[in-house]
Amino acid sequence: MPDLPFTFTLPTPELIPSHYDNHIQRRLSALKGQFLDEKAYAEMLGREDTLLYEVYEITRPQAAGELLTGLSVVHPGKVGGEFFMTKGHFHAVLETAEVYLCLKGEGFMVMENPEGECVVERLAPGKVLYVPPRWAHRSVCTSRQEDLVTFFIYPGNSGHDYGTIEQQGFRKLVMDSPAGIVIVDNPRWNKK
């Protein structure tokens, strides 16, 4: 039987989809080894396995021709001086792209490709970001009180390669500093 078109809405102010199939919650323990300040990480984890971000997914077949969509919500907060962020990943099928639409909050998308190029793009409501094939991506919430909410669309056959980032990290970090938000080189990039 053929699929039928479907709709859902993103009701304000929360923007949680009116229909979704999966609700993923990722906590501090899922980002072991990613935050620069290991002491602050361990202390925070000792107090509570804090919720960093949530993803609401619409399930579709993981096949070429399909599109996977959903909502990503990164909560405000910091580990040491580093803002809460997603794990980040390459797509397992490296030659697949992704589109993000920022709906709420403020932050950055940190991106890099295996060729060593990196781009850190600011996210703000109304901004559309095209992540080309080959670029790993991680969202970072830099607001002090508001969630960073993005809607994403990517090919059904993309898959996720989390292992490469777990092992090497991203080349750039988004940090708070007395001078404001700064983007710095990751001194631990690929040092594991």
Among 28, 35, 83, 89, binds ligand PA5 (CB under 6 A): 89
- Cβ within 8 Å of residue 163, ≥6 positions away: none
Q: Provide the mask over 115-144, with x wherever binding to ligand PA5 is found by CB under 6 A and - wherever it is not.
A: ----------------------x-x-----
Rg (CA), the chain: 17
Identity of the amino acid at 31: L
Shortest distance, position 137 Cβ to ligand PA5, whole Å: 6
- Measured CA to CA, the distance from residue 17 to residue 124 in angstroms comes to 19
Q: Does 88 bind ligand PA5 (CB under 6 A)?
A: yes
Residue 85 · residue 147 · CB < 8 Å: no
Q: How many residues bind ligand PA5 (CB under 6 A)?
A: 14
In single-letter form, the type of residue at position 189 comes to W
Contact in structure between 150 and 69 (CB atoms under 8 Å): no
The minimum distance between CB 86 and Ni ion, in angstroms, equals 9
Q: How far is the CB of 73 from ligand PA5 (least distance, A)?
A: 9
- Mask 11-50, x = binds ligand PA5 (CB under 6 A)? ---------------x------------------------
**SS3 of residue 164 by DSSP:** helix
Nearer to ligand PA5, 1 or 63 (CB): 63
